[in-house]
Amino acid sequence: MKDAFAREITYLRLSVTDRCNLRCRYCMPPAGTAGGLCSAGELLEIVRQAAACGIRKVRLTGGEPLVRPDILDVCRGAAATAGVEELCLTTNGTRLPAMARPLREAGVDRLNVSLDTLRPDRFARLTGQDCLGDVLRGLEAAAEAGFTGTKLNVVLLAGFNEDEIRDFVELARRYPLEVRFIELMPIGEGVHGTFLPAQAVLDACPELLPAGDGGVARRFRLPEGRGMVGLIAPMSHRFCTGCDRIRVTADGKLKPCLHSGKEFPLRGLAGEGLRRELLRGIAAKPASHRLTETGRSGTGRTMNQIGG
Ligand code: SAM
Ligand code: SF4
């Protein structure tokens, strides 16, 4: 299905929960959020009808998807949905030591793991939990379970992890990972004064060699590296002309754009009625976000509700 600007919409990002076992300071309020959540049945009906509208790739996100007790049922159902060619999941990695293999067996094709620091004290300060070791063990468990093409998401934070850019790039040299540096967006809790442009990565690592674009990321390789480096720069390098995605929040509202306040409630709908609403949402996608002009996201939501 094409939107009003002739962009083919093939990618659904589905937030399965707003709950999380971490409290990353730029993402989530300390007390958490507690909206109503879609049931597994509701989520799978959304996936089915979205696939009928032309969605081919589904990403489960949150909040932390792995705190949802029925996450494996959701994965199995989404992976088995006719038309879904790729099922991905974004996680903070803390529960992967136990969950990597069951997720693989449930049909998840690829993982994105978020990790902003390799130093235990900083990890505890940023997330409120002293469990960096679990994430590192989770990355190993993912490789052992047979996951390939795993991406590591690193949010760039001035005064916090800019001195670790080279350490993360070194991971991409040693392991077959894509390390993706992401610019902090002024959304929800988005911490003021900590924005660091993606250019900081190129300044710190002049040896990076351009390797084309991959979705929203500009990609780079390293001489003799096993992995890749990606830069996702929604603030300094707008990529809306190639946008192929829609989002559904943890409480079942379709968001045509991450940064727009417009939402289309999907709960309570099924079959043709749900399809009609999905198509209305796709048709309402704006040409681009206005983050650069306004300095603020228009979403009115925190990131744990939308899923990044
Ligand atoms: N809990 C999972 C995780 O952390 O990967 C999935 C949900 S989390 C909201 C998805 C991604 O959004 C993470 O990589 C996180 O770092 C990123 N994120 C959260 N708030 C952000 C912000 N204000 N700007 C940029 N990225 C953000
Ligand atoms: Fe939780 Fe992910 Fe948000 Fe961190 S970024 S608080 S892990 S939802």
Q: How far is the CA of 64 from the centre of ligand 2 (A)?
A: 6
* pLDDT at residue 189, as a whole number: 62
User: Which atom of ligand 2 approaches the CA of 303 most closely?
Assistant: 3
User: Which atom of ligand 1 approaches the CA of 186 most closely?
Assistant: 23
User: Which atom of ligand 1 approaches the CA of 155 most closely?
Assistant: 16
Nearest to 307 by CA among 4, 100, 63, 67: 63
Per the rule left: phi > 0, alpha: psi between -120 and 50, beta: everything else, 254 is: beta
HSE-CB for 241 with a 13 A CA cutoff: 2
- d(CA 297, CA 308) in angstroms, rounded, equals 12
* pLDDT at residue 308, as a whole number: 77
Q: How far is the CA of 280 from the centre of ligand 1 (A)?
A: 27
Q: How far is the CA of 302 from the centre of ligand 2 (A)?
A: 10
* pLDDT at residue 33, as a whole number: 80
pTM of the model: 0.95
User: 63 vs 80, 223, 256, CA distance in Å?
Assistant: 23, 36, 19
Q: How far is the CA of 157 from the centre of ligand 2 (A)?
A: 15
Q: How far is the CA of 265 from the centre of ligand 1 (A)?
A: 23
* pLDDT at residue 237, as a whole number: 63
* Range list of H helices, the chain: 40-52, 71-79, 96-105, 120-127, 132-144, 165-174, 199-204, 271-283, 291-294, 303-306
**Ligand 1 neighbours by CB, cut-off 6 Å:** 20, 26-27, 61-62, 64, 90-92, 114, 153, 155, 182, 184-185, 187, 190, 303-304, 307-308
- d(CA 122, CA 118) in angstroms, rounded, equals 8
* pLDDT at residue 238, as a whole number: 64
pLDDT along the chain (308 residues), means of 10: 85 96 92 88 98 97 97 98 98 98 98 98 97 98 97 96 97 95 82 87 96 89 94 79 90 90 94 96 84 67 80
* pLDDT at residue 187, as a whole number: 81
